[in-house]
Structure 1
Amino acid sequence: MALINRQILRDDSLEKWEEIGSGGFGCVCKVRHKDWMCDVAVKILKDGTSHFMLKEKALCEEAYLMDLASCEFVLRVHGIYEGSLSRSGSSMQKGIVMDYMRRGSIESLQKDLSGPPPWPLTFRMAREVALGMNFLHSKGLVHQDLKPSNVLLSDDLHVKLADFGLSRVSTSVLNSNIVTTGEVGGSFKYMPPEAFDLSYKPVRSFDIYSYGILLWSICSGKEPYPDAPYSLVKLLISRNPEQRPPCDDLVEMRVEGLAKLVDLMKSCWHHNPKQRPTFKDILEDKEIVCLFSTHNKGIHHAVYEVLTKLDRQCSEQPPNLVPSICTTQGRKMSNDIVDHPKFPMAPKCDSVSVSTTTMSDFEKAKFVDDKRVVLIQDVSEVMAIVDELGDMVHKETYSRIEAEKTAQGQMRVLYRYTLRSGGKKVKAALYDALKIHEPNLVERLGG
């Protein structure tokens, strides 16, 4: 089995090896390609492990399947690594050379954001995963391990399906002369009930079920069945068709299109595999097509805000090393400037003249009133802002805000119980807090 576009990469073309992940199978390294002048990821087998020859064969098969499924929403494979890992002087090893995704995965994004991404980005992710999986199924392949950690993110947060180590040719599209292993794997919380049967052979409805659980995880920002062991998950979802992740909190959010997305989740994780839609059905359904486009108008702002927050986290350094703010036209501005192709570069601190112009409390309060809808939608650091307001937020209101599960819900409570009755002084204080914790958002809104 050979790669369609086979290329062998050896030690002489690679440098600056840095391990960025590991597991029972092996490790993943970030590596610099000398000629391409860019970073790539190399997935390498552990040397000396048991059944090494079988794992090497499986790794080559994974590379082949990734190449076969190559499309816009599948991680691109560049070839096979063959070398001695000169940095350690080990024996000859093999690996898969792939695009390096510095933005991580949906799983790491959830951790960085401490919850789900903004809704426009959530809906775009749902659509792009469906597109990638539909392409995979059109090639007769079953991914069999669809979960947040295996959906990687490009520099502008488009999805890339990855980790084809468990992929198999679907038995639903096999010719009689093709044999499959019938091996079942993947993360058990994303497995359909029928897959717990030892005689089960992978078919496309496996991935549809996993997609439904994945959608729930993206929308909620949580892991399904937290702390539940394999045996309990198997028992519950196999015996009870209603035993699925809870959706009540999602429905109560009353976000446009979310109720329909919950309906899609439920149809995907239907107990009967024959009742689940195909990805082609999903993408051809006019209501779902409309659903996926519901928040298109807000996608650029959502991506910008997420990238800004991620870059801010990456660039944080001790105060004595990097000044955190500077003054420009009477406003505080973060040094965490995002150089992103879809958004204009913010002015750098040392290139802008200092002005003593400041906004009055009246102007600040007007800004908070005029931008209410956008602030509710886009502010992410709500609790930090509430803490800045101090005694202006009543203890009971603080508890209500803290109890909300989304930033949007927290901002709505803040507006309803504090800003509505607090007057100009409180709104001006909110503006000042926004300048500290959401400087790029305020800058974008003209504040």
Structure 2
Amino acid sequence: MALLSHTAELVGNESLEKWEFVGSGGFGRVYKARHKNWGFDVAIKLLHGGVGTLMSKDKALSAEAELMNKASCEFVLRVYGVYEGNFMQSGIVMEFMSRGSVQTLIQDLCGRPPWPLTFRLAHQVALGMNFLHSRNLIHHDLKPSNVLLNDDLNAKLADFGLSRVSTSALNSNEKKSGEVGGSYKYMPPEAFEASYEPVRAFDRYSYGILLWSIVTGKEPYPSADNHLVALSIPRGQRPSLEDINQGEAEGLKDLLELMKMCWDENPVKRPCFKECLEVTETLFSKHWGEIHVAVHHVLTTLSNTSNRHSSVPLHCFPQTTEQSKARATVNGVRVINNEKASAQQDNSTTTVSDRDKAKFVDDNRAALIQHVSEVMAIVEELGNMVHTETYSAIEAEKTSREQMRALFQRTFRPGGVTVKAAFYTALKRHHPELVERLGG
């Protein structure tokens, strides 16, 4: 096989070392490897299947590599070359994105990123998609797992396995073939029609659903299977906006309006990405001064995530082995590492009295129940202030709101000023923007 033979460098096994498995999908497997001559890590995307299936898949992989090369820019994953290994193995050599994807970021944080980072992600994805469409390409599979993140959490579009030359850019006598792909939850209503052929409006709809996922830190329609989604979306079903507080961040209302325009039932009414950029650039500029603090906060949170492997995308582990050991009990009371707890207390705010902290918690009960998402992480920091049975009861609740209600009822009410003050200190570490907004 000779992928990108006129532009790209061929990379063989002799040039690569320290192979590590990263993940897999329907198309193939992804590995991290160190290029001996270049001196940095790369990602190798290999095909699934044996030699007998490689002819058709080589053609698809070659098309993907050509498209990625054509779409190369700051906000699209870069292609370095093509891999040709032993036993007719073929693949694409790409830049390695060390921080996984938007999907794994949301999983790691157990919710949305801080608002400055949320607005930057929205803008960078729009920049990448605008460039893609300017090259007469569509992505056709835009979703959180296909937006990858580098060391500084900057976003780049990836996985062009379903990309193709845009219908609107083809001559009338050029007909495309192939089934409509992509993830059902990010597909527009018209895509569920048997005769549908993807156009740029497909990506605009997907962008709207992607924005919802980033803003909420959730997966759309989490309980619905593909069959139900395929029935519901053409009937007007969209992700719920009820739990989003439009006043929580400056410009959030405008971003939600853009989101709704992008997922409009009528493809013609969906704004092009150049129009999206006019909105996202303005919104990100409002939060630009806070982006470095937000990124540092997220990277610190990720670095403290336990039981993860550096070469594999991170995941949220609410029940890790280390945490289970930390919840050992003595006479029914949960015991934690006192040295760690002391260090956390030493780093807490000392300018606010415990009584004022407790008053803040009492006065903002409704807002805290609605907006605190990292409940279990905070409960962990409270240590033996939370009885073991209470911990289990809080953890068993299905939503963060229900967990917060249980925390108020079972721990704050009997615990008094001390436990509320400790909660305030932990809250300020996990949700500094929320504490500030509430006047704490």
TM-score normalised according to structure 2 size: 0.76
Deviates more, 1:154-163 or 1:181-190: 181-190
- DSSP-derived class of the 1:313 partner: coil
Which of residues 98, 104, 109 in structure 2 aligns to 1:108? 104
Provide, for residues 252-294 of structure 1, a one-character-per-residue CA deviation record: whole Å limited to 9, x for no partner: 6643322221111111011111111100121135xx5322333
TM-score normalised according to structure 1 size: 0.74
> 1:245 — aligned with what?
239
- DSSP-derived class of the 1:332 partner: helix
User: Against the structure 1 CA distance between its residues 5 and 269, is the aligned structure 2 distance closer, same or farther, given a 3 Å change threshold?
Assistant: same
- For the 8 Å contact 2:64–2:161, the answer to whether it is kept is yes
- DSSP-derived class of the 2:112 partner: coil
- DSSP-derived class of the 2:299 partner: helix
Provide, for residues 409-442 of structure 1, a one-character-per-residue CA deviation record: whole Å limited to 9, x for no partner: 969x98xx979x966x56654476579x76x99x
The 5 A counterparts of 1:224-235 are 224-235=220-231
User: Against the structure 1 CA distance between its residues 385 and 185, is the aligned structure 2 distance closer, same or farther, given a 3 Å change threshold?
Assistant: closer
- For the 8 Å contact 1:47–1:93, the answer to whether it is kept is no
- DSSP-derived class of the 1:293 partner: helix
State the Cα distance separating 1:21 from its structure 2 match. 1.3
> 2:277 — aligned with what?
283
> 1:58 — aligned with what?
60
Q: Letter of the aligned partner of 2:275 in structure 1?
A: D
- The reply to whether residue 332 of structure 1 matches residue 351 of structure 2 is no
Deviates more, 1:116-125 or 1:174-183: 174-183
> 2:285 — aligned with what?
293
- The reply to whether residue 302 of structure 1 matches residue 313 of structure 2 is no
The 5 A counterparts of 1:132-281 are 132-176=128-172, 178-181=174-177, 183-238=179-234, 240=235, 242-251=236-245, 254-281=248-275
Q: Distance in 1 between matches of 2:82 and 2:137?
A: 21
- DSSP-derived class of the 2:162 partner: coil
Q: Distance in 1 between matches of 2:348 and 2:20?
A: 48
Q: Distance in 1 between matches of 2:88 and 2:225?
A: 38
Provide, for residues 87-120 of structure 1, a one-character-per-residue CA deviation record: whole Å limited to 9, x for no partner: xxxx121100001112100111111111111111
Deviates more, 1:311-320 or 1:37-46: 311-320
- DSSP-derived class of the 1:81 partner: strand
Q: Which has the higher contact order (CA 8 A, sep 6+)?
A: 2
Q: Distance in 1 between matches of 2:34 and 2:300?
A: 25
Q: Distance in 2 between matches of 1:178 and 1:63?
A: 21
The 5 A counterparts of 1:12-51 are 12-48=14-50, 51=53
Deviates more, 1:176-185 or 1:195-204: 176-185
- For the 8 Å contact 2:412–2:420, the answer to whether it is kept is no
Q: Distance in 2 between matches of 1:204 and 1:360?
A: 50
- DSSP-derived class of the 2:159 partner: coil
Q: Distance in 2 between matches of 1:4 and 1:201?
A: 31
- DSSP-derived class of the 1:120 partner: helix
Report the count of equivalent residues: 390
Q: Letter of the aligned partner of 2:150 in structure 1?
A: S
- For the 8 Å contact 2:246–2:252, the answer to whether it is kept is no
State the Cα distance separating 1:229 from its structure 2 match. 2.2
State the Cα distance separating 1:81 from its structure 2 match. 0.3
Structure 1: which 5+ residue stretches go unaligned? 85-90, 335-356, 442-447
Which of residues 378, 391, 397 in structure 2 aligns to 1:385? 378
> 1:342 — aligned with what?
none
User: Against the structure 1 CA distance between its residues 367 and 289, is the aligned structure 2 distance closer, same or farther, given a 3 Å change threshold?
Assistant: farther
State the Cα distance separating 1:63 from its structure 2 match. 0.7
The 5 A counterparts of 1:399-410 are 405=400
Provide, for residues 220-241 of structure 1, a one-character-per-residue CA deviation record: whole Å limited to 9, x for no partner: 1111112322222122212x2x
- The reply to whether residue 11 of structure 1 matches residue 13 of structure 2 is yes
User: Against the structure 1 CA distance between its residues 362 and 258, is the aligned structure 2 distance closer, same or farther, given a 3 Å change threshold?
Assistant: closer
- DSSP-derived class of the 2:214 partner: helix
- DSSP-derived class of the 1:248 partner: coil
Deviates more, 1:143-152 or 1:16-25: 16-25
State the Cα distance separating 1:64 from its structure 2 match. 0.8
- DSSP-derived class of the 1:44 partner: strand
Q: Distance in 2 between matches of 1:360 and 1:65?
A: 52
